[in-house]
Amino acid sequence: MDSSSSSSDQESLRPGDHVHPDRALIVGDGAFAMAMATAMARRGSDVRILSHTATVRDEINAGENKTTSLPGYKVHGNIKAYTSIEDACAPDVQIVLLVIPTQFLRRFLVTNLAKLPVGCPIVACAKGFEVGTAETPYEMMVGELPGKYHRHFAVLAGPSFAKEIMDGQPTNVVVASESREVATLVARYVSDGSTLRAYVSDDVVGIEVSGAVKNVLAIASGALDGLGFGNNARAALVCRGLAELTRLAVAAGSNGRAMAGLAGVGDLMLTCSSSLSRNFTVGSKMAGGMTLEEIQGGTNAVAEGVATAKSVRVLAGRLGVEMPICDAVYRALYEGLSPRVALAELQARPLGAEGGLVAGE
């Protein structure tokens, strides 16, 4: 059982309890948005996509995933796209998934704070910290949306590449909320009893810090791959990166359980070991000699770890947490530090006791 969830939580999620919402609203039209829309549509839900452009809206409504990072996949017949939130947000929407990059979330919330449906779960699916404030998506929702929404907030995270969800491959995620009732309802809505399974957690802070920091660590892992290093180096990175992630999460208020679960070690293992990860790809290309500007200029996909590296550095400094790997990634991205030199510096640090995930040096 996922250690980020209590036994009583899991007892409430029996196999026969999966229910699909009659109507769901998904804000965003990227790969993960379309994957979650497809997973829910396959179960019979009427899924409405709030798209950011008329071009993408029309392509989705024509049945094609041309510009959503999932070329070659047909759009399910239960999915329809809109560009107006008034049109997309029907009165009987039962769940809202916010699947837009962290750096654009606050603007969406401020613009639409009076337009979202009231009384249904609002689930943040983005991973990262906002540049400038170092706030998480959950914190931004609390800060920007009126109080009538607050008890319905949740976050969704875990190892979940969009392509594999589209292919119907087994995928487990975790839903966290300050309300067990809301977390359980969201888990039931997104689980299908066969390929997609959701656990529940009350560690919102741990889930969000894990989801943010793992993207920065994935850049480091991609750099190791680009430099030609093998499994020993990657295993060390995952382990020591998990220690950094855990120290930051606990300092930020996590109860410490999430990091051993799907959003922590699970998502860290996934993003640090696959070229399907946009962040991994950034690191690999940097190690190959490309600049950050060249990498970002060649793709429309958002690698959240690039911006998150700035906020991790700010938050770690604010909380007095040592994060040498994440700091090295920041310096490689923004100060011109060579990935090979960064690795050499990390390996040359003073020796110390491992000491466990929270206290380790």
Q: Residue 280 is which amino acid?
A: F
Are the CB atoms for 178 and 203 separated by under 8 Å? no
For residues 166, 170, 176 and 179, what is the CA-based torsion angle, rounded to 10 degrees?
100
- Give me the residue label for tokens 């875990």: 158
- Interatomic CA distance for residues 353 and 139, integer angstroms: 35
Residue 279: what residue type? N
Catalytically active residues, by annotation = 214
The encoded tokens of residue 53 equal 């452009």
Please say whether the beta carbons of 286 and 339 come within 8 A: yes
Q: Could you tell me if 218 and 280 are in contact, meaning their C-beta atoms sit under 8 angstroms apart?
A: yes
Q: Give helix 231-252 / helix 304-319 axis angle, nearest 10°.
A: 50
